[in-house]
Amino acid sequence: MMRWMIQAALMGLMTVLAVSAIADDALPHAVAERIDAVMPKVVAWRRDIHEHPELANREFRTAALITEHLETLGMEVRTKIAHTGVVGILRGGEPGPVVALRADMDALPVEEQVDLPFASRVRAEYMGQEVPVMHACGHDLHVAILMGVAEVLSDMRDELPGTVIFVFQPAEEGAPPGEEGGAELMLREGLFDDPRPDAIFGLHVVPAPVGTIGWRSGGMMASSDRFTIKVRGRQTHGAVPWGGVDPIVVASQIVLGLQTIPSRQLDATLTPSVVTVGAIRGGVRHNIIPEEVDMTGTLRTFDPDTRTQIHERVTRTAENIAASAGATAEVEIFHGYPVTYNDPDLTGRMLPTLRRVVGDGLIEAPRATGAEDFSFYQQEVPGLFFFVGVASDDPAMVHPNHSPRFYADERGLPVGVRAMTALALDFLHGRHR
């Protein structure tokens, strides 16, 4: 995201100052008035959720807050989907398409280091130990934005030609070990069964200037898969390596061999790819060649077909290198998040909507090697995922997502509300066609 952040910063403060004026033209006056009226609530919700963060699959308080709000708005509300997920269904007064809007709810085991009156002091249990908890990725803003959009659109239900599904999703950062969760589990538990959306939109706040929205057609964020390789040799004394088969040397050769997959085996003009070995463990003593070595790492790419090829080539490379030395390699690949793939047709049709919201603040973002489980929804229906800038004007306050010093400028909140409201309305009214 860094290149996009620099590019956006070059536009200077004029973009930030122009946000309000652009937004006035982005939506009908009555809708803009509704958004302005709900913004104090959006800010209050955001601060409350930020002060009371909850880890994945434990978002009980957040879910209760959302449920009460949606029920007050008179929506059909479904709860406890994928443990703590909440879904609100707003049926318009006229028949029409179905659009889904998504926000993620979970926080991270991070200790907040930002001096805010509503800073988190929460501690919770994670993997058997007590840890600090913080909304270090901005999901508190996502929830507050979507709650605001829900209120705006519910006030217009009689005028809506179609249905809006509000998806408040737990565990985007990943379910705790031994549990399932997130978008994949929500889908498996029937999220899109009735009604089934024709499209889905989602956003994520990032440390880019307020008044900017980043988009990209096709692969925007990488798939994220984990692999393990167990190399088995034959133990021997370190002084006589020829008496056995050294799995440490074999593992070293495998590390180097794996790097030839993105650099020499895949079409470099198609998409970037990353093969990273993050850990190697083997041996207990300086003069003993061990029997086994364990390796683990991550695989990232932006194209579904390339993802399949990488899996096949990692297995083949590791097994054949090991066999050439008289060792064996057992490869396991654990599928994580798919490619966050913005449907090109949907993206192209909705860009005018986003441009009306931020004008010249609409920027084609570079690919990001981070991953997002919004990608599971995009495997089911066409989807568009985009970034909203929330960086402070003070460079000392700008830190990446997941940092204990991550700070979100609340001037980005109305940008998110306007963008999601405009996307929903334009899609339902067919202005995307």
Residues carrying an active site annotation? 337, 410
Residue with token string 């449907």: 343
DSSP 367: P
Taking the CA of residue 412 as centre, how many other CA atoms within 13 Å lie in the half-sphere pointing to its CB?
27
Place of tokens 């955001």: 46
DSSP 145-213: HHHHHHHHHHTTGGG-EEEEEEEEES-TT-PPTT---HHHHHHHTTTTTSSPPSEEEEEEEEEEETT-E
In this structure, are strands 76-81 and 94-104 parallel, antiparallel, or unpaired?
unpaired
Question: CB–CB of 225/335 below 8 Å?
Answer: yes
For 31, 98, 116, 161, the CA distances from 95, given in Å and listed in that order, are 20, 9, 46, 5
Instruction: Give dist(CA 73, CA 77) in Å, integer.
Output: 10
* Residue 5: Cβ within 10 Å count: 22
